Amino acid sequence: MYNINYREINFNKLTLGEKQRVFPLMQAELILYAYELGYRFSEGDGFRAPSVFGEIGESKGYGHRNSCHKYKLAHDWNLYKLDKNGKAIYQKDTEAFIELGIYWKGMNPACCWGGDFKNSDGNHFSIEHNGSK
Ligand SMILES: [Zn+2]
């Protein structure tokens, strides 16, 4: 297993490719943390391809024109919480993600959580790149 202290990484010194290769490891840690707390995820938006969403800076489809999804530095997760019988209950409100948003932001100052956005987007976990979140 990898044992990385993500807090020690200076993302300002990493290339886009280096950030893209660290991001999945950090997402893995977020997922494991969430599952330990009794949350479950299902797949949401990951990479937003230029053929569908336009090039970086171009508005096409939905989402921000400079979204970190276009940089492969963002992932949206559908959230479920296990009830006392072990049944996974879908959570649609940003508030349900707060515990995970705090954990994600605690991993590194470059980590952004959509729950902090003006248009709250609790299922969004990203790494800042060139001012995009
Ligand atoms: Zn997102």
Q: Could you tell me if 114 and 104 are in contact, meaning their C-beta atoms sit under 8 angstroms apart?
A: no
Q: Is 78 exposed, middle or buried (0-12, 13-18, 19+ CB in 10 A)?
A: middle
Domain ranges across the chain: 14-115
Distance CA 77, CA 80 (A): 10
Quick check: 1 pLDDT over 80?
Answer: no
For residue 125, the CA-to-ligand 1 centroid distance in Å is 7
Ligand 1 centre distance from Cα of residue 72 (Å): 11
pLDDT by residue (tens digit) across 95-125?
999 999 999 999 999 999 999 999 999 999 9
Residue 105 CA to ligand 1 center (angstroms) comes to: 15
Q: How far is the CA of 85 from the centre of ligand 1 (A)?
A: 31
C-alpha distance across the termini of the chain, in Å: 28
pTM over 0.85? The answer is yes
Cα 123 to ligand 1 centroid, rounded to whole Å: 7
pLDDT in tens, 55-71: 999 999 988 899 999 99
